[in-house]
């Protein structure tokens, strides 16, 4: 019995008595899980499986799990249902992350340290955002893949939930460094013009993500349905010229590339931290690869597999652009206090 109790204590310790280092791993898990769900959601769209489960929250009116429905193959149903199932581990990770940050904050306050309410608020966005996404996803299905709602579904994940997770991870890295007193050598403040350039790069990248959803909602991969007579029809799409919106998307990409080149040159010759310079090169390389994939997919009539690689790549680009921007932002003027945490027995119950 004692061994079981000891085992449970070790398992629950990162959650109930977390350290800054364990918080870092919770935040990283949230970043990865959200990136995976966004990428699999794109696979649902690009495989024409958005209506594989035509009802919500059930898959069909007669089945909770994946089942055959008119106009969809069983594979389509399982692709869509599989994406829905991924929300369970996602919300579990998000919920555990919030609990860990809340417990850490309370223990810090009990030990006399100021704690970090900002981290608790950021971590709360994760489970609340996942729940909101589930609702939006249901509305998307019930409105038969309205392209504006599909775009909102993607952007909510990328611009709010994933962004919160990346910012949370960046701040917990700083906490972990402070806890181990491994903050590194003093670094000169980043030049203001480079911070502005990094912020502009982030804003335009967000705009490019939005433009990408317009291209997808306009193009031939928006999805199809097949009625009982075997007639194939497309789901609702944006009534734009595919060539025009694709050109706009490409133009934004070229502008982002120019910004990235200017930023990397500025970082390289301004004495910026090595990590920031490395992130700049990674963003620049990723943008170049994304551009090549974008042109190849367009001139090969948008094969679904290559489009999925392009969408998944955009998620990674967004993560690294955010990290690059955050690395140029000076640390808070308020010092991060690291205190020796008392044992659980000496901490009063909250």
344 pLDDT above the threshold of 50: no
Percentage of the residues of the chain whose pLDDT score is greater than 90? 37
Handedness of CA 43, 240, 201, 257 (dihedral sign): positive
Distance, CA of 140 to CA of 222 (rounded, Å):
13
- 80-110 pLDDT per residue, tens: 888 888 888 999 999 999 999 999 999 888 8
The structure tokens listed for 231 are 């007639």
Note the pLDDT of residue 347. Answer: 39
The reply to whether omega before 253 is within 30° of 0 (cis) is no
CB 76 within 8 A of CB 90: no
- 99-140 pLDDT per residue, tens: 999 999 998 888 888 878 999 999 999 999 989 988 998 898
281 pLDDT above the threshold of 90: yes
User: Quick one: average pLDDT of 195-203?
Assistant: 95
Note the pLDDT of residue 197. Answer: 95
CB 87 within 8 A of CB 57: no
Note the pLDDT of residue 76. Answer: 79
CA distance to 207, 242, 285, 314, per residue, from 291 (Å)? 16, 17, 10, 10
Note the pLDDT of residue 112. Answer: 83
What does pLDDT average to over the chain? 82
CB 262 within 8 A of CB 287: no
Distance, CA of 276 to CA of 339 (rounded, Å):
29
Note the pLDDT of residue 4. Answer: 54
Q: How confident is the model at residue 70 (pLDDT cuts 50, 70, 90)?
A: low
CA atoms within 13 A on the CB side of 225: 15
Note the pLDDT of residue 310. Answer: 93
The structure tokens listed for 204 are 């335009």
Rg for the chain (alpha carbons), in Å?
Answer: 23
Place of tokens 């299905």: 141
CB 54 within 8 A of CB 137: no
User: Quick one: average pLDDT of 147-169?
Assistant: 88
Q: Which of 20-29, 73-82, 211-220 has the lowest mean pLDDT?
A: 73-82
Note the pLDDT of residue 317. Answer: 95
285 pLDDT above the threshold of 60: yes
Give the residue extent of every domain in the chain: 17-179, 188-332
Q: Indicate the DSSP class of residue 57.
A: S
Q: How confident is the model at residue 63 (pLDDT cuts 50, 70, 90)?
A: confident
Could you tell me which residue, 312 or 15, shows the higher pLDDT? 312
- The full DSSP string for 143-182 is TT--HHHHHHHHHHIIIIIIHHHHHHHHHHHHHHHHHTT-
The structure tokens listed for 122 are 């950021």
Question: 3-state DSSP helix/strand/coil percent for the chain, to nearest 5?
Answer: 70, 0, 25
- 292-323 pLDDT per residue, tens: 999 999 899 888 889 899 999 999 999 999 99
Note the pLDDT of residue 189. Answer: 66
Phi/psi at 61 (5° precision): -65, -20
50 pLDDT above the threshold of 80: no
Long-range (24+ apart) CB contacts under 8 A made by 216-220 are 216/45, 216/150, 216/151, 216/307, 216/311, 217/147, 217/148, 217/150, 217/151, 218/147, 218/242, 218/245, 219/302, 220/302
Q: How confident is the model at residue 5 (pLDDT cuts 50, 70, 90)?
A: low
Q: Which residues contact 258 (CB under 8 A, 6 or more apart)?
A: none
Distance, CA of 32 to CA of 34 (rounded, Å):
6
Could you tell me which residue, 3 or 318, shows the higher pLDDT? 318
């Amino acid at each position: 019995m004692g061994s079981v109790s000891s085992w449970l204590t070790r398992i629950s310790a990162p959650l109930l008595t977390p350290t800054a280092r364990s918080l870092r791993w919770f935040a990283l898990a949230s970043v990865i899980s959200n990136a995976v769900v966004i990428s699999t959601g794109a696979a649902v769209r690009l495989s024409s499986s958005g209506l594989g489960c035509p009802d919500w929250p059930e898959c069909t009116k007669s089945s909770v799990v994946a089942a055959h429905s008119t106009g969809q193959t069983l594979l389509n149903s399982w692709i869509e249902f599989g994406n829905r199932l991924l929300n369970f581990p996602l919300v579990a990770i998000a919920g555990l992350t919030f609990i860990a940050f809340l417990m850490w904050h309370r223990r810090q306050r009990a030990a006399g340290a100021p704690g970090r309410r900002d981290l608790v608020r950021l971590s709360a966005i994760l489970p609340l955002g996942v729940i909101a996404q589930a609702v939006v996803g249901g509305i998307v299905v019930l409105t038969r893949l309205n392209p504006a709602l599909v775009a909102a579904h993607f952007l909510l994940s990328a611009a709010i939930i994933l962004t919160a997770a990346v910012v949370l991870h960046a701040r917990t890295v700083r906490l972990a460094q402070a806890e181990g007193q491994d903050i590194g050598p003093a670094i000169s403040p980043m030049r203001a013009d480079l911070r502005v350039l990094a912020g502009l790069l982030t804003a335009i990248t967000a705009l490019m993500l939005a433009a990408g959803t317009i291209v997808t909602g306009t193009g031939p991969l928006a999805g199809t349905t097949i009625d009982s007579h075997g007639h194939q029809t497309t789901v609702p799409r944006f009534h734009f010229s595919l060539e025009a919106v694709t050109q706009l998307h490409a133009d934004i990409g070229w502008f982002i590339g120019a910004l990235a080149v200017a930023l990397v040159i500025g970082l390289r010759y301004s004495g910026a931290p090595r990590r920031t310079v490395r992130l700049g090169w990674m963003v620049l390389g990723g943008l170049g690869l994304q551009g090549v994939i974008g042109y190849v997919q367009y001139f090969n009539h948008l094969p679904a597999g290559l489009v999925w690689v392009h969408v998944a790549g955009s998620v990674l680009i967004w993560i690294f652009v955010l990290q690059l921007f955050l690395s140029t932002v000076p640390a808070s003027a308020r010092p991060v206090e690291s205190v020796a945490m008392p044992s659980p027995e000496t901490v009063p119950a909250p």
